[in-house]
């Protein structure tokens, strides 16, 4: 699956937001782009985000 991604995706749990945050390290100045309530949802949101 990761071989099909165009950009590296970082997923991190947030105790403050109580969700998984999704970011793309290749985009400087942007910490988090989207999120998901589950890890799987975060991955799906991340795949769809960079478009």
Backbone torsion region of residue 18, taken as left when φ is above 0, otherwise alpha when ψ lies between -120 and 50, otherwise beta: left
Q: Model confidence over 6-43: pLDDT tens digits?
A: 888 999 999 999 999 999 988 888 788 899 999 999 99
Hunting for tokens 């749990």 — which residue is that?
13
21 three-state secondary structure: strand
| pLDDT of res. 19 | 97
Q: How confident is the model at residue 5, as a pLDDT? A: 75
Give the separation between CA 37 and CA 8, rounded to whole angstroms: 20
> Quick one: pLDDT band at residue 1, thresholds 50, 70, 90?
very low
What pLDDT sits at residue 10? 93
What pLDDT is attached to residue 27? Answer: 83
Threshold 0.85, pTM exceeds:
no
């Amino acid at each position: 699956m990761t071989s099909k991604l165009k950009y590296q995706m970082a997923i991190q749990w947030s105790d403050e937001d109580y969700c998984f945050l999704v970011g793309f390290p290749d985009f400087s100045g942007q910490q988090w782009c989207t999120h998901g309530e589950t890890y799987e949802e975060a991955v799906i949101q991340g795949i769809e985000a960079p478009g």
